[in-house]
Amino acid sequence: MSKKVLLAGAILAVLAPAGAFAQSNGGAAAGAATGAVGGAIVGGPVGAAVGGVTGAIVGGLAGQQQQQFRQYVVTQDVPSYRYSDEVRVGAVLPSSGIEYYEVPAEYGVRGYRYTVVNETPVLVEPETRRIVQVIR
């Protein structure tokens, strides 16, 4: 157990300088740090590597920023697309019949679009239409 805690601390120490950078790149560094520490605690070194990569891919919006973005989407009155499958990270949305919108710059999420699926805002990778974050 102490090895896992030490490993998690070492990983956090290595990734901590990236924390200041996280605000400007949409949270990927913060996602990587959180994923790596969580993965290290649960699965040791391999868990840290997997958790770090998964966290960096998602990046996206964190904590209070999710609530603010959700409120923004509500004020935009974006129509909700009816989706028969589960709304989850990794799901691929259709190329037609659904509109994808720019994420305002103040949220610091570059390279993604948003839409509303089954009354739930989601961030989507535009090239693949893959959901990368469900905003709850």
Place of tokens 């490993």: 7
The answer to whether residues 47 and 14 belong to one domain is yes
Closest C-alpha to 11, from 26, 28, 32, 25: 32
* 19 and 69 assigned to the same domain: no
Q: Do 17 and 33 form a contact (C-beta atoms < 8 A)?
A: no
117-132 average pLDDT score: 97
As a whole number, mean pLDDT of residues 109-118 equals 96
- Read off the pLDDT of each residue in 6-14 and give the average, rounded to a whole number: 46
Closest CA to 118 of 76, 87, 73, 77: 87
What's the pTM value of the predicted model, to 2 decimals? 0.60
Residue that is last in its domain, among 34, 58, 82: 58
More confident residue, 8 or 72: 72
127 and 68 assigned to the same domain: yes
Same domain, 86 and 54: no
Q: Which domain range does residue 30 map to?
A: 2-58
Structure tokens at 117: 């699926």
How many domains is the chain partitioned into structurally? 2
Query: Where a domain ends, among 33, 58, 83?
Result: 58
Pick the last residue of a domain from 31, 58, 85: 58
What is the token pair recorded at 105?
């710059």
